[in-house]
């Protein structure tokens, strides 16, 4: 294994709105951060449809274009941006040691984790086929594009109920596709769903596939799959929303950093500080609640300011 060591002052892992915003602030403070883009350069926004809810873009902007703007802005002030994935960490000694692509070790005085979270998918080929053309994992991001149309939400937990209620305020009809014969969601959320007239729950249904010419036009479902009553059902929809959870990309830090049971990094409330001094977290990797570009960017700003102050105090 060809290992080489490099010493840096601040290392940022991840390149979504949180990582890039942290980089903009730190580079303007003359700290010349080094940022590794990770598995998905630009983060989840690069696979979303147009973004219309980020302040400052009255006409909307594609996720890819917005991330390109943020990257250019960070580079303009001196951020060193590199392709590469953090594959191993050692936060037990100082400076911290992060291995990139299994062969390069970076020693850093301060670390910002902005690795994001990955939406869970059913694993159907059609999800990939129609990604950005009817398939979404974020109702608040993409619901607006389906005003007055019929959509489906997959899932039976609190997130699925929240997404369905949100979409019901915009769409003509919302189907909830629920695998079991009951919702996993809290009683409060269940009651809200049942009181919403244009939500129809399809109990004991599972998704077989999607169909449509160039975009989603409908879903093929199994009703009571693997039982004598099994039948195939088609529904006409324009949008297909997955609400079966997110997986925060925190596994390589889990040995050292405190997380909640799902894996979201715990930060000290009102800050980006983790349980290890000098290690900060921002964006979706520490945010199970909002998961928006604008909140991720805000938390990236917090991480940069917390980092700068911590380094100054040292």
Q: Which pairs with CB-CB distance under 8 Å and at least 24 residues apart come from 217-224?
A: 217/134, 219/152, 219/177, 221/177
Which residue blocks in 116-247 are alpha helix, DSSP H? 125-129, 139-142, 158-168, 187-194
User: Averaged in consecutive runs of 10 residues, what is the pLDDT profile of the chain (314 residues)?
Assistant: 82 97 98 92 74 91 92 98 96 97 96 94 95 91 94 95 95 98 94 97 98 97 96 98 94 97 97 98 95 95 98 94
Cβ contacts of 260 within 8 Å, gap of 6 or more:
266, 288
Pairwise CA distance, residues 37 & 235, whole Å: 40
Evaluate whether 240 touches 258 at the Cβ level (below 8 Å). no
pLDDT at 48: 66
- The closest of 171, 168, 238, 227 to 203, measured between CA atoms, is 227
Instruction: Choose the catalytic residue: 50, 126, 142, 260.
Output: 142
Evaluate whether 13 touches 38 at the Cβ level (below 8 Å). yes
Annotation says 301 is catalytic: no
Cβ contacts of 143 within 8 Å, gap of 6 or more:
151, 166, 167, 170, 171, 239, 241
Instruction: Choose the catalytic residue: 90, 101, 126, 141.
Output: 141
Annotation says 142 is catalytic: yes
- The closest of 215, 205, 193 to 235, measured between CA atoms, is 205
Q: Residue 41: is it exposed, middle or buried by C-beta count within 10 angstroms (0-12/13-18/19+)? A: middle
pLDDT at 2: 56
Pairwise CA distance, residues 117 & 120, whole Å: 9
C-alpha separations of 23 from 20, 35, 70 in Å: 5, 7, 9
The structure tokens listed for 247 are 């997986």
Instruction: Please tell me whether the overall predicted TM-score, pTM, comes out greater than 0.75 for this model.
Output: yes
Annotation says 90 is catalytic: no
pLDDT at 168: 97
pLDDT at 49: 62
pLDDT at 3: 62
């Amino acid at each position: 294994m060809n290992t080489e060591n490099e010493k840096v002052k601040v290392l940022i892992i991840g390149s979504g709105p949180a990582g890039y915003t942290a980089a903009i602030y730190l580079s303007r403070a003359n700290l010349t951060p080094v940022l590794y883009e990770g598995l998905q350069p630009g983060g989840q926004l690069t696979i979303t449809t147009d973004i219309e809810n980020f302040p400052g873009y009255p006409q909307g902007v594609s996720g890819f274009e917005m991330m390109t703007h943020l990257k250019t802005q960070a580079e303009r002030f001196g951020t060193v941006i590199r392709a590469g994935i953090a594959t191993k960490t050692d936060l037990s000694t100082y400076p911290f040691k992060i291995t990139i692509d299994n062969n390069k070790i970076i020693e850093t005085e301060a670390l910002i984790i902005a690795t994001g979270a990955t939406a869970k998918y059913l694993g159907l080929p059609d999800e990939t086929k129609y990604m950005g053309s009817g398939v979404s994992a974020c109702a608040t991001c993409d619901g607006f594009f389906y005003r007055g149309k019929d959509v489906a939400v997959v899932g039976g937990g609190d997130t699925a109920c929240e997404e369905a209620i949100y979409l019901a305020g915009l769409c003509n009809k919302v189907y909830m596709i629920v695998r079991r014969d009951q919702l996993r969601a809290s009683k409060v959320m269940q009651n809200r769903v049942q009181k919403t007239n244009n939500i129809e729950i399809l109990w004991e249904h599972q998704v077989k596939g999607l169909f449509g010419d160039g975009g989603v036009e409908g879903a093929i479902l199994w009703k009571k799959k693997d039982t004598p009553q099994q039948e195939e059902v088609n529904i006409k929809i324009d949008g297909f929303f997955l609400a079966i959870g997110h997986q925060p990309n925190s596994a390589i830090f889990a040995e050292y950093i405190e997380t909640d049971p799902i894996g979201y990094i715990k930060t000290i409330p009102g800050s980006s500080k983790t349980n290890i001094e000098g290690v900060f977290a921002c964006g979706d990797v520490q945010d199970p609640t909002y998961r928006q570009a604008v909140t991720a960017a805000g938390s990236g700003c917090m991480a940069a300011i917390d980092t700068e102050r911590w380094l100054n105090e040292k």
